[in-house]
Structure 1
Amino acid sequence: MNEQPNLGELRAFAAILRHRSFRKAADELDVSPSTLSHIMRSLEAGLGVRLLHRTTRSLSPTEAGERLMARLQTVLRDLDGALAEATTFGDRPSGRLRINAGEAGARLLLTHVVPTFMERYPEVELDLVTDGRLVDIVAEGFDAGIRLGEAVPQDMIAVRFGGHARFVAVAAPRYLAGRTVPQTPDDLHHHACIRIRMPSGKPYRWEFERHGQEITIDVPGKLTLDHPGLIVRAAASGLGIAYVVEREAQPYLDRGDLTILLDEWCPPIPGLFLYYPGHRHVPPALRAFVDLLKAAI
């Protein structure tokens, strides 16, 4: 090793690998991409080894970069925990609070929790990320995540909010006119369905249950979308049968623009949870957010 790197350089390197993007890492660190490139050149020069493979279209770690990142994640996590613990001696929560959430969870927070939280704790910078991916919140530097209960890792502390949720099959009266209404999930094979593309790129298989019998259907359809709001609109426009969270479709159901199909095959499931690691120190800002969440919802 030719030169000892500083903490800022190491944090920059970790952010680049988390995002696999100089631009997104620069946004997180509030610097320009050119500044971030200079920081990386300085780090690699100081260490005397290349850490990243970079092309115009891709970014990946070298073997040295992978090994450094594997050790660095634990070091930075422990350092952040120590710094957060030190802030407990202050009077009020402060610093950045990063939460990864789905769009539905973010909407609930923005309606019921965030306005009061920001008014009560102006020293906290709230970073609410809704990129749709099921991420490892620890590996990607989040303080907490928000997901449906079935998607929360078992080693996390989870706080439930928002009540039960239900996925339902819906269609517009104009689509159903002249067609046989499906009576079982298997009947969907004879209909035009609006398919759901997951963040991974794979199609989502619709899941149904009745009296303990579970059925998973890879539905047919010529239209595939990846946004719940667009899926509901497409169904309301008569383009096919959709499978969505009932809360998302409720305004259309209330107006009669959509109707629920296979109702008895769509039982409620545990709703949204805010979750965070149980083995780490809970930062004061997160503790304050959780307390407000419990009181508000």
Structure 2
Amino acid sequence: MMRGTLAELEAVMTVAAHGGFRAAARELGISSSALSQQIGALESRIGVRLFNRTTRSVALSSAGEQFVAEITPALAAIRNALDLADEHRAEPTGILRINTSLGAARMVLSPLVLEYLRRHPKMSVEIVTEGALVDINAQGFDAGIRILEAVPPDMIVAPISRFVRPAIVASPDYFAAHGQPRVPADLQNHECIRGRMASGEIYHWEFERRGETFTMNVPGRLVLDESDIMLHATRAGAGIAYLNEWQVAEDLASGRLVRILSEWTSPYPGLCLYYPGRRHIPAKLRAFVDLIKEIRWD
């Protein structure tokens, strides 16, 4: 008699990957208490404690580590078999889980995700935004979306946009009060809105002109870690910001923002979808990749 269902085994793997019940429950779409009961029921049936629990942490026991090591290949084989069977579906169904940054999510939402849902009414899409990169395979995501240079090695890549172009902008009121920088060095005399990256480091603005490339740690009293908040502050006249061209296109067209130093900013490799290399691609992911190839923009 089978003493552990596939759902229970997946639950063990997910808790082990997250190191806790709350994040694992969120991924599995159940409550933390239900997940804890599910794990507890499995442990009772097999007579082994898989996790050592305290009020602050959840960690695999020595028996749990061996258990996870043994079931990992089997679960991978089962997932592969399910993916292979899924390829025969006429219409993809299920949930497509994507991990990406907040800015990238806004960039692809309308042209890709909403169109995907329109074409495939039996599909759901869950997008999780995080500044830092995560192991999409270990965290249960089908794919990720990042700029090309941030994609981990050994991933299959489907380009979404060929380039991303930076734009240095400020409000007309700011420039009326402080003047416009003519060369990057002039920024040292201005109030810049600085960005903090997921790593915790301050982003140094990147410049390139006629083969000359350099970065600058610009001055500024306001430091933000989210591009939409930076855009809001820029519109309010708080200073000069280094944003993406697509994000400020409407503001530039309407005159709410003014662009400077465009001859000093060059495009860099754009967004792409990425996913682990495997023999069989699930129908739900294959349909998303096909849509990317169809409506990719530059």
Bin the TM-score by the shorter chain.
Answer: 0.7 to 0.9
1:40 corresponding residue in structure 2: 39
- Report the Cα distance in structure 2 between the residues aligned to 1:203 and 1:278, rounded to whole angstroms: 33
Relative to 1, partners in 2 of residues 1:66 and 1:199: Cα closer, same or farther, differing over 3 Å? farther
1:256 corresponding residue in structure 2: 255
1:51 corresponding residue in structure 2: 51
Of stretches 206-215 and 223-232 in structure 1, the one that deviates more from structure 2 is 206-215
Kept after mapping to 2: 8 A contact 1:185/1:215 = no
1:220 CA displacement: 2.9
Of stretches 103-112 and 274-283 in structure 1, the one that deviates more from structure 2 is 103-112
Opposite residue 9 of structure 1, the aligned amino acid is E
Kept after mapping to 1: 8 A contact 2:27/2:140 = no
1:191 corresponding residue in structure 2: 190
- Report the Cα distance in structure 2 between the residues aligned to 1:184 and 1:60, rounded to whole angstroms: 54
1:258 CA displacement: 1.8
1:210 corresponding residue in structure 2: 209
Kept after mapping to 2: 8 A contact 1:189/1:220 = yes
- Report the Cα distance in structure 2 between the residues aligned to 1:13 and 1:184, rounded to whole angstroms: 57
2:170 corresponding residue in structure 1: 171
Relative to 1, partners in 2 of residues 1:250 and 1:89: Cα closer, same or farther, differing over 3 Å? closer
- Aligned residues: percent identity? 43
1:283 CA displacement: 0.8
Kept after mapping to 1: 8 A contact 2:116/2:288 = yes
Structure 1 SS opposite 2:259: strand
1:291 corresponding residue in structure 2: 290
1:74 CA displacement: 5.2
Count of matched residue positions in the alignment of Structure 1 and Structure 2: 294
Relative to 1, partners in 2 of residues 1:72 and 1:139: Cα closer, same or farther, differing over 3 Å? farther
- Report the Cα distance in structure 2 between the residues aligned to 1:222 and 1:73, rounded to whole angstroms: 50
Opposite residue 225 of structure 2, the aligned amino acid is D
Relative to 1, partners in 2 of residues 1:210 and 1:16: Cα closer, same or farther, differing over 3 Å? farther
- Where do 4+ consecutive residues of structure 1 move more than 6 Å? none
Kept after mapping to 2: 8 A contact 1:5/1:43 = yes
- Report the Cα distance in structure 1 between the residues aligned to 2:190 and 2:68, rounded to whole angstroms: 48
- Report the Cα distance in structure 1 between the residues aligned to 2:63 and 2:184, rounded to whole angstroms: 51
- Report the Cα distance in structure 2 between the residues aligned to 1:147 and 1:139, rounded to whole angstroms: 17
1:140 corresponding residue in structure 2: 139
Opposite residue 292 of structure 1, the aligned amino acid is L
1:19 CA displacement: 4.1
TM-score normalised by structure 2 residue count: 0.84
Structure 1 SS opposite 2:164: coil
Point out where structure 2 has 5 or more consecutive residues left out of the alignment: none
Structure 1 SS opposite 2:130: coil
- Report the Cα distance in structure 1 between the residues aligned to 2:130 and 2:17, rounded to whole angstroms: 14
1:129 CA displacement: 2.0
Opposite residue 284 of structure 1, the aligned amino acid is A
Structure 1 SS opposite 2:163: coil
Relative to 1, partners in 2 of residues 1:115 and 1:47: Cα closer, same or farther, differing over 3 Å? same
Kept after mapping to 1: 8 A contact 2:87/2:281 = no
Matches within 5 A, 1:106-117: 106-117=105-116
1:85 corresponding residue in structure 2: 84
- Report the Cα distance in structure 2 between the residues aligned to 1:79 and 1:183, rounded to whole angstroms: 61
Relative to 1, partners in 2 of residues 1:108 and 1:234: Cα closer, same or farther, differing over 3 Å? closer
Of stretches 152-161 and 165-174 in structure 1, the one that deviates more from structure 2 is 152-161
In angstroms, what is the RMSD of aligned CA positions? 2.9
Kept after mapping to 2: 8 A contact 1:20/1:60 = yes
1:12 CA displacement: 1.6
Opposite residue 48 of structure 1, the aligned amino acid is V
> CA deviation digits over 1:95-129, x for unaligned, max 9?
33222223343334432233443243333332222
1:37 CA displacement: 1.7
> CA deviation digits over 1:81-102, x for unaligned, max 9?
2211122233332233222223
Kept after mapping to 2: 8 A contact 1:196/1:224 = yes
